[in-house]
Amino acid sequence: DAGVIQSPRHEVTEMGQEVTLRCKPISGHDYLFWYRQTMMRGLELLIYFNNNVPIDDSGMPEDRFSAKMPNASFSTLKIQPSEPRDSAVYFCASSLAGGETQYFGPGTRLLVL
Amino acid sequence: AQKITQTQPGMFVQEKEAVTLDCTYDTSDPSYGLFWYKQPSSGEMIFLIYQGSYDQQNATEGRYSLNFQKARKSANLVISASQLGDSAMYFCAMREGLSGNTPLVFGKGTRLSVIA
């Protein structure tokens, strides 16, 4: 079974540009999480979904960030406009409601110049 | 609020030796799950081991074991017979509740270096 898939794996963009990160959760998983990893703040939750519905977006830094899950097999995290401080690794993870473990994708390494 | 503390920023261990990575946690929820993830230099997050708050036995997965001391609120990871490939960042994490439907809170991590 394929794991969590994220694209792109690396993204370099200039300040002010729109960035879209993509995630495909493990088939059948009904929870999807977006985390961000930085040197300063470590790993922190941005937002998570249950059955495509956002449950908690209190970790989303500001209005420049938005996330959607139009169906059970796809989610996007958009940053518009991007800023250098958004440079980080963005992870997507998925899990089953009755399961124990969250499985992480390989991450997207974002660099905003 | 949940909190995870990893007090060892970095650790060194000789190849083939055992090493313990420390983790303490804080929560007011009686039901919770504790996790360890490995992050090698390539960047992916690899699940290693899980311990539920009501589990009587310490979790084990191959060379990994979780030393769960509930009264002390500690969940240390023990790696036996260290290998060079074990060199990586290790993160302790906690989730309130016993199912996969709440977010993880992570510690700052411990960088383990295995020396030949």
Tens digit of pLDDT for each residue in B17-42?
Answer: 999 999 999 999 999 999 999 999 99
DSSP B84: G
Q: What φ, ψ does residue A84 adopt, rounded to 5°?
A: -55, -35
pLDDT score, position B51? 94
Q: What φ, ψ does residue B84 adopt, rounded to 5°?
A: -55, -35
pLDDT score, position B100? 65
Average pLDDT of chain A, as a whole number: 94
Of all residues in chain A, the one with the smallest CA distance to B98 is A100
Is the per-residue pLDDT at A96 higher than 90? no
Q: pLDDT exceeding 70 applies to what percent of chain B?
A: 98
Is the per-residue pLDDT at B101 higher than 90? no
Is the per-residue pLDDT at A1 higher than 70? no
Q: Are A57 and A65 in contact (CB under 8 A)?
A: no
Using CA atoms, how far apart are residues B43 and A55, in angstroms rounded to an integer? Answer: 27
pLDDT in tens, A16-66: 999 999 999 999 999 999 999 999 999 999 999 999 999 999 999 888 999
Tokens of A112: 């905003």
B109 touches chain A (CB under 8 A): yes
Using CA atoms, how far apart are residues A112 and A14, in angstroms rounded to an integer? Answer: 5
Say yes or no for a CB contact (<8 Å) between B98 and A42. no
Is the per-residue pLDDT at B64 higher than 90? yes
Q: What φ, ψ does residue A110 adopt, rounded to 5°?
A: -105, 130
Please name which of B79, B115, B112 lies closest in space to residue B10, comparing C-alpha atoms. B112
- Omega of the bond leading into A81 within 30 degrees of 0 (cis): yes
Of all residues in chain A, the one with the smallest CA distance to B91 is A43
Facing residue for A95 by CB, picked from B44, B100, B105? B100
Q: DSSP per residue over A33-89, as a string? A: EEEEEETTTEEEEEEEEETTEEEE-TT--STTEEEEEEETTEEEEEESS--GGG-EE
Q: With beta carbons under 8 A apart, name residues in chain A contacting B100.
A: 31, 95-102
Using CA atoms, how far apart are residues A75 and A49, in angstroms rounded to an integer? Answer: 9
pLDDT score, position A41? 92
Say yes or no for a CB contact (<8 Å) between B100 and A33. no
Is the per-residue pLDDT at A72 higher than 70? yes
Q: With beta carbons under 8 A apart, name residues in chain A contacting B46.
A: 104
Q: pLDDT exceeding 90 applies to what percent of chain A?
A: 89
pLDDT score, position A62? 82
pLDDT score, position B106? 96
Q: How many alpha carbons fall within 13 Å on the CB side of residue A20? A: 6
Strand A88-95 versus strand A103-104 pairing type: antiparallel
Give the max Cα distance, chain A: 41
